[in-house]
Amino acid sequence: MRLLAIDTATENCSAALRVGGQLLTRELESERAHAERILPMIDELLAEADLALAALDAIAFGRGPGSFTGVRLAASITQGLAFGAGLGVVAVSDLGALAQRAFDLDPHGARVLVCNDARMGEVYWAAFARHGGLAQAAGPERVDAPQRLVPCAPGTLGAGRGFAAYPQLAAQTGVTVPAGWQRLLPRAADIARLAEPEVRGGRLLAPEQAVPIYVRDNVARPSSL
């Protein structure tokens, strides 16, 4: 398996390279440096592995939801690299990637509510369940005002910066947020983990299908409550 993964959807700009059993990573948390840093991160990883881009099996990217600019950046870079190298791509949910991070941190957790700060008084959120060690969506991805979230099934864990932005959400939804999980962000390493079964199964997209998923489609129109 030779898989490159990138993510720029949140404050965490990251890249990961899976080469056999080895995982190489680069990360930088920043509000604005993603466009300047992501390509050098990719170059560093390929150089460290002594691997040409065309030798990869696929490229995976965080397709959102997240920052509009960040999600577009990851999609456009993935398209450009994949076109140039003749590679297929895998689009991975950033909420799913964060759920995977949570499940890897707590191997006994069965359900997690991921809640990321969407700004504008809203949160991106979705519920996930563990299946075969991997995070699987248990419902649609949504963007809502925090007060619209409803209680979850008993035993559900909570993860994501939506819980830091709106501390009342844990009690409101009945989830347990382990220490530090309210600061977690998705990473390219988690995107790579979720993309691996897709690559092995040959379920790859053409480069032009590397498109962002915003969830919030119209920032000019407030959500109806």
For the chain, domains (ranges, CATH) are 2-93+186-209 (3.30.420.40), 94-183 (3.30.420.40)
Distance between CA atoms of residues 216 and 145, nearest Å: 12
Distance between CA atoms of residues 205 and 59, nearest Å: 10
pLDDT band at 23 (very low <50, low <70, confident <90, very high): very high
Q: Is the pLDDT of residue 223 over 60?
A: no
pLDDT in tens, 174-187: 999 999 999 999 99
Tell me what the mean pLDDT of segment 131-147 comes to.
Answer: 97
Tell me what the mean pLDDT of segment 191-205 comes to.
Answer: 98
Degrees to nearest 5, angle at CA 111 with 106 and 114: 90
Counting runs of H as helices and runs of E as strands, what totals does the chain give?
Answer: 6, 10
Provide the pLDDT for residue 80.
97
Q: Is the pLDDT of residue 104 over 70?
A: yes
**Could you give the residue ranges of the DSSP H alpha helices within 10-91?**
34-49, 68-85
Provide the pLDDT for residue 216.
79
Q: Kindly report the pTM of this predicted structure.
A: 0.94
Name residue, tokens 């390509």. Answer: 39
pLDDT band at 31 (very low <50, low <70, confident <90, very high): confident
pLDDT band at 30 (very low <50, low <70, confident <90, very high): confident
Task: State the DSSP H helix or E strand holding residue 141, giving kind and residue range, or none if neither.
Answer: none
pLDDT in tens, 200-220: 999 999 999 999 999 976 443
Max Cα-Cα span within the chain: 53
